Amino acid sequence: MRFKMTKEEKNWVLYDVGNSAFVLLVSTIMPIYFNYLSEKAGLSSVDYLAFWGYAASIVTIIVAFLGPVLGTLADTKGYKKTIFIIILLIGCIGCFLLGFIKQWLFFLIVFIIAKIGFSGSLIFYDSMLSDVTTPERVDHVSSQEYAWGYIGSCVPFVVCLLLVLNAGKIGLSMEMSMMISFAIITFWWFGLTLPLLKTYQQKYYVERNPHAMQKQF
């Protein structure tokens, strides 16, 4: 029997297609660019690797502490979509600004903010699945999300990779090619989120409890 997704399910899947491009950028091109910025500032390769590791660790720790708070808000009536949009904008704006920063320390700070926005948005995004589909379709829709997320994210990533690798041949500096790449990823990420924002409605929730966050911790 052929599995056909509803409009709400497709829009939910599209968000993973959009944000996965940011994941590819962070895991491949971005460390190379940070190395480029740090070398220009006179940092050694040892320091570059250490600072990049520190930044990744800081993001993990902050998200770990924010998790219970964001998880509680995601389950509370009337909060999910609004806070999802705020955190999404933090991630997207941070990603876009990375293309304009040439100083390695400021680059790391903005990267941490953008990564927190990305990771935080996933808490709300994952919780939306029960609202856009039915329990018996959850596994199918989640599988579609993984598949299309990996496939679709390759489109902007390949464009950015070719742009960065061939920057000199087409008369662009490394900084300019990265600026364009960050802009491409940002608009891809945000643009593919718009369908979800248009159709999403929270169906399952708990009523507001003034002591909910304290209980979660």
Quote the CA–CA distance of 108 and 88 in Å, as a whole number.
19
Residue 13 has a pLDDT of: 95
Alpha helices in 41-137 (DSSP H): 45-75, 80-98, 104-127, 129-132
Quote the CA–CA distance of 149 and 160 in Å, as a whole number.
17
Phi, psi at 169, each rounded to 5°? -70, -30
Residue 95 has a pLDDT of: 96
Those residues whose C-beta lies under 8 Å from the C-beta of residue 138, and which sit 6 or more positions away, are 129, 130
Phi, psi at 216, each rounded to 5°? -65, -45
Count the Cβ atoms, other than its own, within 10 Å of residue 122. Answer: 17
DSSP state of 200: -
Q: What is the pTM of this model?
A: 0.90
Quote the CA–CA distance of 152 and 111 in Å, as a whole number.
23
The three-state secondary structure class of 103 is coil
Task: Give how far Cα 12 sits from Cα of 50, 102, 150, 153, 183, Å.
Answer: 37, 35, 15, 15, 23
Residue 2 has a pLDDT of: 61
Query: Per-residue pLDDT for the chain (217 aa), expressed as one digit of tens each?
Result: 467 899 999 999 999 999 999 999 998 899 989 999 999 999 888 898 899 999 999 999 999 998 888 888 888 888 899 999 999 999 999 999 999 999 999 999 999 999 999 999 999 999 999 999 999 999 999 999 989 998 988 999 999 999 999 988 999 999 999 999 999 999 999 999 999 999 999 988 777 777 666 666 6
Given this structure, which CATH class describes domain 7-202? mainly alpha
- Domain regions of the chain by residue span: 7-202
Residue 71 has a pLDDT of: 85
Which two tokens mark 58?
Answer: 């800081």
Contact at 8 Å (CB) between 119 and 60?
Answer: no
